[in-house]
Structure 1
Amino acid sequence: MADDDDKPKKHTLDSLFMVYCNYKANPTELENEQFDCILLSQIDAWLEQAKLMPNPIARTQTGLLYMRYKKWRLGYEDFLELITQLVVDNNLILDEFKQIMIEAGPPSGATDIVIVK
């Protein structure tokens, strides 16, 4: 009987969220700092990776939605609200949208290794 540890781990939306939160993050004075909130540029990079941008979703659309939060970075719950609004505004199906984002995988060129639980 094979151990579960031997099976390849699959990403989930929340595990990929953590990967993108730290993708192209500016280095700070704190070594090994991990971010748990996402920037607009990181959301756009994820949507581009998923081939959801520039069509059906435009950069201006994500920017306008993002600015409603009046925060520098969005937490996971705010991120879920943002993508839900994108889905509604573009007449898409939420579960399919999330699946496309999951299938996009980690950012191209990212070297970070993330443990998926």
Structure 2
Amino acid sequence: MADDEDKPKRHTLDTLFHVYCNHKVIPTELDNEVFNSILLSQLDAWLEQAKLMPIPITRVQTGLIYMRYKKWRLEYEDFLEVLQQLCSDTELNYDEFKETLIAAGPPTGGTDIVVVK
């Protein structure tokens, strides 16, 4: 069992969500602030890294869906709803879509591991 602890852990959709929530955040007065919700720009960056943007998904599509929530940041549950809407709009398979996002990995090839409690 000790060998399992030494192996790098594979990201899941929710761990990557938290990585992207804190990617390219404009510094604020609160240096240690950690975000648990995602901005539209962070979602678009993730889709670009997964090579899902600009085809089959466009910034217009993500923007229109995102703005329905009338919030600056979306929680994980809202994020999953956005993914479902994007899949239905583009006729992509939802499970394959999520796997593609996971396979894209952390932003710009980073290796940061986020522990989700």
- Which residue of the partner structure matches residue 81 of structure 2? 81
Distance 1:66 1:30, change over 3 A: same
The amino acid that maps onto 1:17 is: F
Distance 2:84 2:35 in 1: 22
Summarize deviations over 1:56-88 as a string: whole Å, max 9, x none: 000000000000000010000000000100000
Summarize deviations over 1:23-65 as a string: whole Å, max 9, x none: 0011111121100000000000000000000000000000000
Give identity over the alignment, percent: 72
- Which residue of the partner structure matches residue 90 of structure 2? 90
* 8 A contact 1:21–1:38 mirrored in 2: yes
Count of aligned positions: 117
Deviation at 1:8, TM superposition (A): 1.2
Distance 1:78 1:104 in 2: 20
More helix by proportion, 1 or 2? 2
Distance 2:46 2:26 in 1: 17
- Which residue of the partner structure matches residue 41 of structure 2? 41
For structure 1, list consecutive stretches of 5 or more residues without a partner in the other structure.
none
- Which residue of the partner structure matches residue 4 of structure 1? 4
* 8 A contact 2:38–2:73 mirrored in 1: yes
The amino acid that maps onto 1:96 is: E
The amino acid that maps onto 1:89 is: D
The amino acid that maps onto 1:28 is: T
In the TM superposition, structure 1's runs of 4+ consecutive aligned residues that sit over 2 Å from their partners are 1-4, 109-117
The amino acid that maps onto 2:78 is: D
The amino acid that maps onto 1:73 is: R
The amino acid that maps onto 1:26 is: I
Distance 1:94 1:109 in 2: 24
With structure 1 as the length reference, what TM-score do the two structures score? 0.93
Deviation at 1:12, TM superposition (A): 0.2
For structure 2, list consecutive stretches of 5 or more residues without a partner in the other structure.
none
